[in-house]
Amino acid sequence: MDKKYKLIYFNVKGKGEVIRLIFTYGKIPYEDVRIESSQWPALKPNTPFGQLPYIEFDGKTLAQSNAIARYLAKQCDLTPTTDWEQAQADELSDVVQDIKTIARPVNPVYEKDEAKRKSLLPDVLAAVTQLLDKVEARLAANTSGWLVGNKISWIDLLFFTTTEYYVTVFGKEVLAKYEHQHKLYTRIKQIPQIAAYLEKRIDTVI
Ligand SMILES: N[C@@H](CCC(=O)N[C@@H](CS)C(=O)NCC(=O)O)C(=O)O
């Protein structure tokens, strides 16, 4: 019998969006449960590690967004081919986490003081740019156009969500600077099931 997956996350893209994209890419049916902040205090103690996202299936739960992404990637051919490519994907997933950590002080969800946010932006963008430059160089060196190896993998979908994130926080002119990231972003957007999903996606800022 097919597994019946449930994704439990907040009503944002955040760390849950890569999981939604993997389900979508793999045409894996799932229930997209979106928790309101008012529901969270009661739910938190009953989650695997006190945070979201987590998934439920077959009476089991699995938390930690990257662990979930890696697990689901195996169900739909989104795992990089070799051990080395898998390690490179893991490396990039930590770079993504670093980008998010550096950008957190200017994330409009966490920093509501617009004047403060604006004053922090130049330094934060400079730090994020150093990492994006390195990602761009790696993409430029891979003739397949994917982040690792010669096929799409979960890290490309994770980086797609990161691109959406940095465009939201810093503006689309940042993406325009990066030819290869722009190509990757467009390529993923054009995958038919992803395009259909994006068309109907619930609109949230982050
Ligand atoms: N390492 C975890 C971090 C999860 C995390 O930071 N979740 C946040 C939302 S993005 C959360 O649950 N915040 C509410 C809380 O900590 O009470 C992952 O990657 O899944």
CATH of the domain at 62: 3.40.30.10
Write down the pLDDT at residue 13: 97
Could you tell me if residue 58 is inside a domain?
Answer: yes
- Counting from 1 in the atom list of ligand 1, the atom nearest the Cα of 53 is 20
- Total domains in the chain come to 2
Mean pLDDT of the chain: 96
Indicate if 94 and 62 belong to the same structural domain: no
> Do 156 and 129 share a domain, yes or no?
yes
Q: In what order do the strands lie in the sheet with 30-35?
A: 30-35, 5-10, 54-57, 60-63
Phi, psi of 149 (to 5 degrees): 60, -155
Q: What distance in Å separates the CA atoms of residue 38 and residue 168, rounded to the nearest whole number? A: 25
Confidence bin at 2 (pLDDT 50/70/90): low
Atom of ligand 1 nearest to the CA of 66: 19
Q: Are residues 145 and 184 in the same domain?
A: yes
- pLDDT one-digit tens code per residue, 71-107: 999 999 999 999 999 999 999 999 999 999 999 999 9
Shared-domain flag, residues 88 and 183: yes
Residue 11 lies in a domain: yes
**Domain containing residue 132: CATH number:** 1.20.1050.10
Does one domain contain both 92 and 36?
no
Å from CA of 64 to ligand 1 middle: 8
The answer to whether the beta carbons of residues 21 and 194 sit under 8 Å apart is: yes
Domain extent at residue 129: 83-192
Same domain, 93 and 72: no
Position 203 in a domain:
no
Question: What whole-number percentage of the chain has pLDDT above 90?
Answer: 96
CA 140 to ligand 1 centroid distance, Å: 32
Least-confidence region, from 2-11, 151-160, 187-196: 2-11
The encoded tokens of residue 60 equal 């089991």
**What distance in Å separates the CA atoms of residue 33 and residue 183, rounded to the nearest whole number?**
31
Name which of 115, 109, 127, 126 is nearest 169 in CA terms.
109
177 falls within a domain = yes
Atom 16 in ligand 1: which residue has the minimum CA distance? 51
Asked whether residue 205 is domain-assigned, the answer is no
67 and 94: one domain? no
Q: For the residues 133-159, what does the mean pLDDT come to?
A: 98
Tell which residue, 188, 137, 131, 139, has the closest CA to residue 164: 188
Residue 1 has pLDDT above 60, yes or no: no
For 41-78, how does the pLDDT look when each residue is reduced to its tens digit (9 = 90+)?
A: 999 999 999 999 999 999 999 999 999 999 999 999 99
